[in-house]
Amino acid sequence: MIRSRGTAHINGSTKLAGVTGWPLEHTLSPAMHNAAYEELGLNWVYMPLPVRDEHGLAHLAAAVRELPFVGFNVTMPYKQAIVGLLDEVSEAAVAAGAVNTVSQAEGWLIGHNTDGVGLIEALRTDAGFDPLGKRVVLLGAGGAARGALAALLSAGVESMTVVNRDGRKAADLVAETEPWHRSAAVETAAPDNALCAVREADLVINATSLGMRPGDQSPVPVEWLSPRQLILDMVYGTPRPTALLEGARFLGATALDGLGMLVHQAAAAIDIWSASEDSPAPRAVMRRAAEAQLDARFRPEEA
Ligand code: NDP
- The packing angle between helices 167-176 and 143-154, to 10°, is 40
Amino acid at 223: E
Any alpha helices (H) in 100-222, and if so which ranges? 115-121, 127, 143-154, 167-176, 195-200
**From the CB of residue 152, how many other CB atoms can be counted at a distance below 10 Å?**
24
What per-residue confidence (pLDDT) applies to 302? 54
Which residue's CA is minimally distant from atom 27 of ligand 1?
Answer: 144
Q: Tell me if the bond preceding 23 is cis, omega within 30° of 0.
A: yes
244 lines ligand 1 (CB under 6 A): no
Q: Which amino acid type is present at position 162?
A: V
At residue 135, the pLDDT reads 98
Coil, helix or strand for 129? coil
Does the C-beta of 265 come closer than 6 Å to ligand 1? Answer: yes
Ligand 1 binding pocket includes 140 (Cβ within 6 Å): yes
Assess contact for 258 and 243: CB atoms under 8 A.
no
What does the H/E/C string look like for 48-116?
EEECCCHHHHHHHHHHHHHCCECEEEECCCCCCHHHHHCCEECHHHHHHCCCCEEEEECCEEEEECCHH
Going by CA atoms, what residue is nearest to atom 1 of ligand 1?
A: 142
- Give the residue from 152, 156, 149 showing the smallest Cα distance to 170: 149
Neighbours of 94 (CB within 10 A): 16
Tens digit of pLDDT at every position of the chain (303 positions): 556 788 878 999 999 999 999 999 999 999 999 999 999 999 999 999 999 999 999 999 999 999 999 999 999 999 999 999 999 999 999 999 999 999 999 999 999 999 999 999 999 999 999 999 999 999 999 989 999 999 999 999 999 999 999 999 999 999 999 999 989 999 999 999 999 999 999 999 999 999 999 999 999 999 999 999 999 999 999 999 999 999 999 999 999 999 999 999 999 999 999 998 789 999 999 999 999 999 998 877 654
User: Residue 261 in contact with residue 233, Cβ under 8 Å?
Assistant: no
pTM of the full structure: 0.95
The DSSP bridge pattern shows strands 230-233 and 15-21 to be: unpaired
> According to the model, what pLDDT value does residue 303 have?
45
Q: Is the CB of 130 under 6 A from ligand 1?
A: no
The beta strand positions in 159-300, using DSSP E, are: 159-163, 185-189, 203-206, 230-233, 254-256
Candidate of 79, 176, 209 to mutate for ligand 1, largest count of ligand atoms within 8 Å of Cβ: 209
Q: Please give the C-alpha separations between residue 165 and each of 5, 128, 162, 194, in angstroms, as whole numbers.
A: 47, 30, 10, 11
- State how far the Cα of 265 lies from the Cα of 294, in Å rounded to an integer: 18
Ligand 1 pocket test: pick from 208, 236, 259 the residue with the most ligand atoms within 8 Å of its Cβ. 208
- pLDDT, tens digit, for every residue of 56-76? 999 999 999 999 999 999 999
